[in-house]
């Protein structure tokens, strides 16, 4: 059978149901779409007739009749345009005019805006008079959008009036306060003035800082930026504002700001509002800011950003990522400028966002350069800057990467030296980067390298070594002799973190709690590690207690060894420590002391 060519069929009822009910996330968008259409009609009139200066959009809210009326004095529609654009889904004159005139003032593009009226209204009425046929007014009506009627009606002024007879579930849209809020949110930057309920005060009277008159002083601009930022920053007050340079390839305008504080629930409070051709699209486009900028917010306006069909989000295309990178550069340079020129503001930024800025400094060398000596790191003596830390640590950075008591920390406390809490956000990475930049030493405790820097092993007679090993060692341990201060710390039990990691990987693999890719990477790190030695005992030859063990009888040295080991273990015992029980350690300590006092 020969192939046949058929026309694709469209189920209009199904299409209207899918688009009308599912295209928009909230029925309030319908008001935005109809205002957008009215705005574009005004821009069209200006482009095609040369008329300028007296355009407006007027909205009437009637909560008693459950109606909303939107009127503009723009271009209006001819009979043919009503059929071609108003009554045809996906067909819009705005797109045609923009493409032909290369004018970017018009907002619409997809030809779907009027469809939103069918979502909220059980009946829609339209009166429209085109500037091309000012003597003729057309009346269009539809219930649900599946069928419509069009007829000539009494002449009216050039422009268009749309009346929505709201569905019962959307009666609340006719409340004046709600409508005012929607206009202020979605249309605050539209240049065509919007008026509500015969009020002569323009609702969308917000002036963006990048639209201020050229004669505005820099002091006034700074003040206006902060006021503008406060409107869009929902969680916090803006601490300072950074204008976006306008000489960019995307016609991008706007500003970024630093919030005055953070929160406890998360460190990521990025928020950025996006306007495309002066119409608000979304306030949840945090992806335009870098991950490290959890303290920043912003407002941007650009014709280069492409909205989705519902105009409630931005398409993640190549220009989106170019603009994202540009905003990151703007934020970085803005922070550097503040650091150099506004010391009081910079100090407030550092004090409010110290932890988040540690991560930011790791992400960009330019930020690290200006912040490395000012940011504070968490240590066992509190939060201090690295220059202050180094004065107390002897010029070396010591880092512990586990959030648990350890014998290394015990030694540092005994020596009155600070220890960096490297397990907290970005602290370890920041310290290691600082050491690299400034040619310093950074030692991570619990690693083989860290231990060799803490302890210098000393060779002793084999008999002494064997005696101490027999007295002090437990399962899977090795003994090293060393000398360190203070002498009243007799020994330290150091857990090998690499061995602990290997054991965790083996447990996770057995429990299927680790992905194959992560498992492969982890194995590369741990495959050469022997799990036989899990802890290393460093015996302090400077300690009088160790000397007493070496010189004492086997029985006396045995009691002393049990007491010392149990005491040291109890000082850093962990609740989840599977190798020892706190009560058992205390009992060993008590029994050993009792035996010593009895002279056994």
Interhelix angle for 554-571 vs 462-472, to 10°? 60
User: Does an H or E element contain 441, and which?
Assistant: strand 441-444
341 labeled part of a ligand binding site? no
DSSP string, 154-191: S---SEEEEEEEE-GGGGGGG-HHHHHHHHHHHSTT-S
How far is CA 316 from each of CA 101, 168, 322, 447, rounded to the nearest angstrom? 26, 37, 10, 43
91 labeled part of a ligand binding site? yes
β-pair type (159-166, 67-72): antiparallel
Could you say which DSSP state residue 135 is in?
T
72 labeled part of a ligand binding site? yes
Residue with tokens 């205390």: 586
User: Does an H or E element contain 69, and which?
Assistant: strand 67-72
CB 296 within 8 A of CB 334: no
3-state secondary structure of 346: helix
Give me the sign of the Cα torsion angle 423, 425, 426, 427: negative
How far is CA 429 from each of CA 234, 331, 397, 444, 583, rounded to the nearest angstrom? 32, 22, 12, 11, 37
β-pair type (382-385, 159-166): unpaired
How far is CA 201 from each of CA 53, 71, 254, rounded to the nearest angstrom? 17, 16, 26
Give me the sign of the Cα torsion angle 343, 348, 353, 355: positive
∠ CA 151-153-157 to the nearest 5 degrees?
Answer: 125
160 labeled part of a ligand binding site? yes
Radius of gyration of the chain (CA): 36
User: In whole angstroms, what is the distance from residue 251 CA to residue 562 CA?
Assistant: 76
92 labeled part of a ligand binding site? yes
User: In whole angstroms, what is the distance from residue 171 CA to residue 166 CA?
Assistant: 6
User: In whole angstroms, what is the distance from residue 450 CA to residue 434 CA?
Assistant: 17
- Tokens linked to 324: 């994202």
37 labeled part of a ligand binding site? yes
User: Which segments are annotated as binding site?
Assistant: 33, 37, 72, 91-92, 160, 311
User: Which segments are annotated as binding site for ATP?
Assistant: 33, 37, 72, 91-92, 160, 311
């Amino acid at each position: 059978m020969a192939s046949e060519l058929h026309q694709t069929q469209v189920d209009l009822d199904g299409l209207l149901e899918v688009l009308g009910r599912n295209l928009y996330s909230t029925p309030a968008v319908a008001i935005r779409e109809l205002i957008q259409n009215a705005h574009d009609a005004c821009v069209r009139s200006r482009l095609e007739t040369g008329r300028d200066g007296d355009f407006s959009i007027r909205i009437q809210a009637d909560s008693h009749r459950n109606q909303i009326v939107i009127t503009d004095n723009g271009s209006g529609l001819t009979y043919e345009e009503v059929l071609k654009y108003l009554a045809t889904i996906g067909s819009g004159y705005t797109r045609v005019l923009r493409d032909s005139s290369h004018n970017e003032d018009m907002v619409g593009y997809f030809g779907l805006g009027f469809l939103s009226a069918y979502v909220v209204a059980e009946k829609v009425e339209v009166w429209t008079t085109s500037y091309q046929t000012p003597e003729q007014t057309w009346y269009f009506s539809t219930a649900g959008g599946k069928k419509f009627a069009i007829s000539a009606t009494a002449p009216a002024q050039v422009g268009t009036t749309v009346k929505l007879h709201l569905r019962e579930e959307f009666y609340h849209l006719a409340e004046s306060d709600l409508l005012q809020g929607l206009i202020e949110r979605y249309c605050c930057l539209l240049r065509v003035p919007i008026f509500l309920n015969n009020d002569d005060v323009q609702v969308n009277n917000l002036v963006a800082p990048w639209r201020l008159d050229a004669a505005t002083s820099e002091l006034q601009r700074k003040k206006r930026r902060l006021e503008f930022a406060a409107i869009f920053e929902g969680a916090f007050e803006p601490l300072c504002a950074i204008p976006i340079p306008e000489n960019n390839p995307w016609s991008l305008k706007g500003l970024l700001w630093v919030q005055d504080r953070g929160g406890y629930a998360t460190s990521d409070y990025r928020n950025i509002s996006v306007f495309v051709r002066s119409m608000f699209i979304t306030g949840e486009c945090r992806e335009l800011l870098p991950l490290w900028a959890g303290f920043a917010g912003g407002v941007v306006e650009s014709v280069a950003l492409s909205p989705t069909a519902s105009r409630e989000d931005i398409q993640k295309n190549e220009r989106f990522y170019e603009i994202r990178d540009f905003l990151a550069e703007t934020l970085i340079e803005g922070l550097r400028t503040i650091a150099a020129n506004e010391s009081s503001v910079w100090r407030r930024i550092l004090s409010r966002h110290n932890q988040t800025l540690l991560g930011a400094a790791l992400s960009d060398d330019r930020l690290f350069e200006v912040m490395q000596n000012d940011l504070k790191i968490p240590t066992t003596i509190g939060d201090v800057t690295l220059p202050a830390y180094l004065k107390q640590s002897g010029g070396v950075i010591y880092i512990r990467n586990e959030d648990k008591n350890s014998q290394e920390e015990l030694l540092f406390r005994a020596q009155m030296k600070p220890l960096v809490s490297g397990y907290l956000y970005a602290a370890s990475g920041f310290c290691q980067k600082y050491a690299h930049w400034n040619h310093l030493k950074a030692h991570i405790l619990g690693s083989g390298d860290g231990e060799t820097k803490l302890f210098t092993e000393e060779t002793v007679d084999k008999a002494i070594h064997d005696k101490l090993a027999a007295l002090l060692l437990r399962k899977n341990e090795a003994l090293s002799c060393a000398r360190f201060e203070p002498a009243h710390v007799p020994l330290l039990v150091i857990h090998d973190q690499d061995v602990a990691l290997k054991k965790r990987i083996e447990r996770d693999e057995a429990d299927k709690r680790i992905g194959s890719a992560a498992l492969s990477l982890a194995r590369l790190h741990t495959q050469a590690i022997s799990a036989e030695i899990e802890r290393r005992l460093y015996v302090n030859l400077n300690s009088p207690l160790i000397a007493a063990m070496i010189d004492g009888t086997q029985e006396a040295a045995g009691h002393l060894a049990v007491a010392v080991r149990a005491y040291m273990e109890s000082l850093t015992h962990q609740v989840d420590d599977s190798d020892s029980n706190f009560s058992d350690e205390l009992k060993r300590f008590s029994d050993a002391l009792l035996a010593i006092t009895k002279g056994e």
